[in-house]
Structure 1
Amino acid sequence: MKIIYFIICSLFLVSCSSSKKQVENIASEPDFMLAFGSCNRVDLPNLLWDDILKANPDVWVWGGDNIYADTDDMVALRAMYNEQKEQPGYNQLLKSTDIIGTWDDHDYGLNDGGVEFSAKDASQQEFLNFMNVPDDSPLRNRQGVYNSKIYEIDGHSINIILLDTRYFRTRLTVDTETDKRLKPNKYGEGTILGDVQWKWLENELRTTTAEFNIIVSSVQYLSKEHGFEAWGNFPHEVDRMAKVIADSKAEGVIVLSGDRHISEFSKTNLDGVDYPLIDFTSSGLTHAYRDFSGEPNQYRVGEVVFTESFGILEFHFNTRTVDFKIVGDNGIVLQRIEQVYE
């Protein structure tokens, strides 16, 4: 739509011998551009906002860990949010671009925290302040920051569904047998979303008429073998999500995630769904897992990116195509995949 990147063909990207249809998708301007990212510290250089501004997205989506506060002191939390708002590049984005998002543990206030965090209600209000949510919004009286927003574009629509994987999330199981931090709970034990949010999500997907439905989860949905936080720590919730997506018949469901300080694409086929489910992880904006030496992910497509980056999704409605890009400093496309949703 507003910026054209040079594309390097490789085995896991679109082949240089791609069909004419695919080549046209890459070369044409998108009808809608979503940019997103996570894991952003105010005490480190915010080096990517100029690149995000140059991309000129239609919406910026915060994927969580938007600041690193880790506190139940609301004065300190508010000060850090305000510092981020005053960061020159982000401040310019605020003035030019629609901004929505969710939180993760470090802006929630408790590392790996969930339902047990005593300051979660006060923290929610500070998050909503950061997101410039009006004082009279119904979101101010809802438990949890889950929400959705529909974008209408020339007779087409995209529904962005923002999940809260913190407010209701129950106990994790520490792994005392291996060098991993966590292991999956017993099947059926615990919840990520809680009953009320699950019912809300089921209704969102069942009633949507959007051509694309973007589910924003602060933690990874597909990748689950690394031993850190993920949907895989609640295997029954993974299965429930797959069933909800399939039963809903919602079109073009895509998952966006963060948290890991790496960026990668994961992809699988769900029973009853006639398109692959992609989980696009983008993390982090100001710091990355630069000592990354490998980890298993049976769903991975391509390679892991472990430098600072953000994500872009370019939507082409006429061909029902989405171009997924991991973008680094100076606007360099570090990796990309393309998916047609027929």
Structure 2
Amino acid sequence: MKKITSLAILSVLAACQSPAEMPLVADVFTPKSADEALEPYYRSLPEDFYPRAPAGLALPEAGKPLTRILVGSCLDEEKPGSASLRSVAAESADLFLMIGDNVYGDRDGPAYVNNQPELNELRASYADLAAREDFKAVRAKFPMMVAWDDHDYGANDAGRDFPFRRLAERIHERFWGLENEDVGAYPGTYYARTFGPEGQRTQIIMLDTRFFRSALTPTDEWGKKGKERYIPSADPEQDMLGNDQWTWLENRLQDPADLRLIVSSIQVLPTDGHGFEAWAAMPLEQQRLYRLVRETDAKGVVFVSGDRHTGFLYKDDAALPYPAHEITASSLNVAFAETTTEMDRAQVGEGYPPENFGAIGIDWTAGTVSLEIKSNTGETVRQVTAAFR
């Protein structure tokens, strides 16, 4: 295979800015975007270009009811020995959800700034994760479902404008062994699975809040409490999921299920507690999500999120036709504080900033879920029980 240098690739990217009437080469397609220009090169990369996770367990059988699910996000693969991962490995559960920032592959800055269209740092981060003994222990014990967030997408807070998103998707799907499943056949990393017999069906919907997302609205008061990075916008052109994923989600919400976990890498319910990334930064999209749940008559929805480097529990009585609950489990080993004063109108109790992971217990007889934030030693430090029927 002839090697294509980064300089040549960047020349192609620059050419994408040329007027449409000036093709790059005669009889060759004129790409409409940077990621489209890179696509032929990315398709030529060999399989050994991609890091792979250790072999994992098959997902639970479709007819098996789930009773316990673990959740984690924000794992710095370069930090030695995670107490949280060791505690996760000591738990009993049917499934483990890694829901974003599963590696930090952009510590050196965005790849497009550092002339890395091959996403060298991101691939190295995944390789480091694969080599961790604590990750291997978790991988060997639990079937896993995964979502990504910005740091395992390739650039902090990035959305659809990330020029190397198509390669980032390939890296994600190949690392987690998803390339030959439905999610590997279409753009984006969203997918869903349902487990359990009628009356005990748990549907898990893994959203992709990166690949299709338009830009957020920057704050006008950087760092101010409640407006730290972004502010809500009424721009009707802003989009969180993209048309295809929105249509797919509408269909999935009509699938038979008794309990539905909608996994979003960024928070769904909070509205006024902070100004970082969240659905509240696109309030029209947030309301669109709620409206879709109502219109599809989807029962038993519980939101699951990460990203925030603090564990939170939320309850909103107005968002859905029934009380809506959310658990934010973050982070496995990237904690920034011991306490927090953050309080959102939907928040249940204080946040928990030290290292943590989440647990979701399902009581089919009572029709309830227990949402737990657990410390890195496995102690339950925050808990709420919610009815789902």
TM-score bracket, normalised by the shorter chain, equals 0.7 to 0.9
1:325–1:337 Cα contact (<8 Å) kept:
yes
Partner of 2:172: 127
Partner of 1:172: 216
> What secondary structure is seen at the aligned counterpart in 2 of 1:241?
helix
By percentage of residues, which structure has more strand?
Answer: 1
1:190 corresponds to which of 228, 238, 249: 238
Using the size of structure 2 for normalisation, the TM-score is 0.76
1:62–1:100 Cα contact (<8 Å) kept:
yes
Per the TM alignment, residue 53 of structure 1 is displaced from its structure 2 partner at its CA by 1.6
Matches within 5 A, 1:150-165: 150-152=194-196, 156-165=200-209
CA distance in 1, matches of 2:247, 2:370: 31
Partner of 1:8: none
2:82 corresponds to which of 29, 41, 46: 46
Matches within 5 A, 1:86-105: 86-105=131-150
Using the size of structure 1 for normalisation, the TM-score is 0.86
Partner of 1:68: 104
2:292 corresponds to which of 208, 232, 244: 244
Per the TM alignment, residue 187 of structure 1 is displaced from its structure 2 partner at its CA by 4.3
Distance verdict in 2 for CA 1:124–1:176, change over 3 Å: same
Question: Would you identify which runs of 4 or more consecutive aligned residues in structure 1 move more than 6 Å?
Answer: none
Per the TM alignment, residue 329 of structure 1 is displaced from its structure 2 partner at its CA by 2.1
Matches within 5 A, 1:1-342: 32-44=67-79, 45-70=81-106, 71=111, 72-133=117-178, 135-152=179-196, 156-177=200-221, 179=224, 180-205=228-253, 207-225=254-272, 226-270=274-318, 273=321, 275-290=322-337, 292-342=339-389
Decide which moves more: 236-245 or 92-101: 92-101
Partner of 1:21: none
CA distance in 1, matches of 2:334, 2:237: 33
CA distance in 1, matches of 2:385, 2:181: 37
Partner of 1:24: none
Distance verdict in 2 for CA 1:154–1:251, change over 3 Å: closer
RMSD between aligned residues: 1.8
The one-character-per-residue Cα deviations of 1:194-246 (angstroms, maximum 9, x if unpaired) are 111111101110x2211101100000011132111000110101111111111
Per the TM alignment, residue 291 of structure 1 is displaced from its structure 2 partner at its CA by 5.9
Distance verdict in 2 for CA 1:296–1:79, change over 3 Å: same
The one-character-per-residue Cα deviations of 1:34-89 (angstroms, maximum 9, x if unpaired) are 11111110112422122112212111111100000024543432221122122112
Give, as a single letter, the amino acid of the residue that structure 2 aligns with 1:143.
P
1:242–1:270 Cα contact (<8 Å) kept:
no
Give, as a single letter, the amino acid of the residue that structure 2 aligns with 1:43.
E
> What secondary structure is seen at the aligned counterpart in 2 of 1:304?
coil
CA distance in 2, matches of 1:97, 1:259: 22
**Percent of pairs identical after alignment?**
30
Task: Give the structure, 1 or 2, with the largest relative contact order (CA under 8 Å, sep 6 or more).
Answer: 1
Give, as a single letter, the amino acid of the residue that structure 2 aligns with 1:61.
L
Distance verdict in 2 for CA 1:264–1:101, change over 3 Å: same
How many residues are paired up? 310
2:66–2:196 Cα contact (<8 Å) kept:
no
Distance verdict in 2 for CA 1:177–1:290, change over 3 Å: closer
